[in-house]
């Protein structure tokens, strides 16, 4: 993941998100027209720590809950319903 410091001192992290077996329509929207698009999602945070030589490294990712995705949350409050 990437970290950057904001002028107000807050740290912002961009964390990879994984959605397994995403519906084709949603996958297409996120991969072809998703850049710069606001989304809202919920998921489980998965963290791991491991050693590389004498240094510890960490990895953080989000496993997305399939029924939690909202494309452009400024327009709606209803999550996208996916077929299970």
Banded pLDDT at 5 (limits 50, 70, 90)? low
Chain segment 13-58, per-residue pLDDT in tens: 777 888 888 888 888 888 887 777 778 889 999 999 999 999 998 8
Strand ordering across the sheet containing 43-52: 17-18, 55-64, 43-52
pLDDT of residue 3: 58
What pTM was estimated for this model as a whole? 0.59
What number of other Cβ atoms are within 10 A of residue 63's Cβ?
Answer: 13
pLDDT of residue 83: 42
């Amino acid at each position: 993941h990437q970290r950057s410091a904001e002028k107000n001192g807050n740290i912002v992290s961009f964390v990879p998100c994984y959605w397994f077996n995403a519906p084709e329509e949603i996958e297409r929207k996120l991969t072809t027209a998703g850049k710069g698009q606001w989304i809202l999602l919920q998921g489980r945070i998965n963290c791991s720590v491991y050693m590389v030589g004498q240094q510890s490294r960490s990895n953080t990712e989000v496993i997305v809950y399939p029924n939690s995705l909202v494309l452009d949350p400024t327009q709606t409050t209803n999550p996208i319903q996916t077929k299970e």
